[in-house]
């Protein structure tokens, strides 16, 4: 049984307004949310992770806070990759493209999804030419990607593209590949032309 003082203290503490700072949920950054959603897609073994991750990128890639706190590498000679996250199954990179920088014409041996964070990139698509003994590619299309734009593709050795910054300002894109970062070289790309 409570005495009068104990009862007043119990009622008083029950009627206090809770401390909003103590009750607030932790703040989850855009990058953390993106990495969590990407991991969820990978764990779910969906048939088309490139499409699913491109859909996630479309919602967040232009967020100005996405890369807060990351030191993004830059080079005058070629585009640069900064690893954001990597596992044995996939990796997430930020790629900085200075004006005039471009990838070689390449196809992927793993799925890929990308989104433009800042600047403008031009993606040129190529497809196999029919006939002949030698495998060759021909131009099949070209499009500009602005902040918030995405692109994706399954692992396909004969469907090729080239990414290029044809503008006068740097461009920054986020890429997710269906392989570990350590395997990005010849294990990921088939180079058709520089």
Residue 17's contacts (CB-CB under 8 Å, 6 or more residues apart) are none
- Does the pLDDT value for residue 194 go beyond 80? no
pLDDT band at 155 (very low <50, low <70, confident <90, very high): confident
- Does the pLDDT value for residue 137 go beyond 60? yes
List strands edge to edge, sheet with 121-128: 137-145, 121-128, 156-164, 105-108, 189-193
Residue 134's pLDDT is 63
pLDDT tens by residue, 7-57? 455 445 555 555 655 567 778 899 999 999 999 999 999 999 999 999 999
Q: Which residue has the higher pLDDT, 175 or 182?
A: 175
Q: Which CATH number fits domain 28-181: 1.10.10.10, 2.60.120.10, 1.10.10.1100, 2.130.10.10?
A: 2.60.120.10
Burial 61-95 (b: 16+ CB within 10 A, else e): bbbeebbeeeeeeeeeeebbbbebebeeebbbbbb
Closest CA to 38 of 95, 103, 90: 90
Residue 86's pLDDT is 95
Closest CA to 104 of 121, 79, 74: 79
List the domain boundaries for the chain: 28-181
Mean pLDDT of 132-155: 88
CA distance 61 to 44: 22
CA distance 149 to 184: 23
pLDDT band at 2 (very low <50, low <70, confident <90, very high): very low
pLDDT tens by residue, 76-127? 999 999 999 999 999 999 999 999 999 999 888 899 999 999 999 999 999 8
């Amino acid at each position: 049984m409570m005495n009068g003082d104990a009862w007043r203290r119990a009622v008083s503490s029950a009627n206090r307004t809770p401390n909003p700072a103590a009750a607030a949920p932790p703040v989850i950054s855009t990058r953390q949310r993106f990495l969590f959603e990407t991991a969820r897609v990978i764990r779910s073994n969906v048939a088309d992770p490139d499409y699913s991750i491109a859909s996630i990128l479309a919602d967040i890639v232009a967020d100005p806070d996405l890369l807060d706190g990351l030191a993004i590498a830059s080079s005058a000679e070629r585009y640069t990759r900064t690893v954001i996250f990597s596992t044995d199954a996939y990796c997430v990179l930020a790629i900085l493209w200075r004006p005039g920088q471009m990838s070689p014409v390449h196809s992927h041996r793993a799925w890929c999804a990308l989104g433009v964070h800042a600047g403008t990139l031009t993606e040129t698509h190529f497809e196999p030419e029919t006939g002949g003994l030698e495998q060759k590619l021909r131009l099949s299309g070209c499009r500009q990607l602005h902040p918030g734009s995405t692109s994706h593709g399954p692992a396909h050795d004969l469907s090729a593209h080239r990414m290029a910054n044809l503008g006068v300002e740097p461009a920054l894109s986020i890429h997710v590949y269906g392989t570990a970062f350590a395997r990005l070289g010849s294990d990921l790309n088939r180079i058709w032309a520089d």
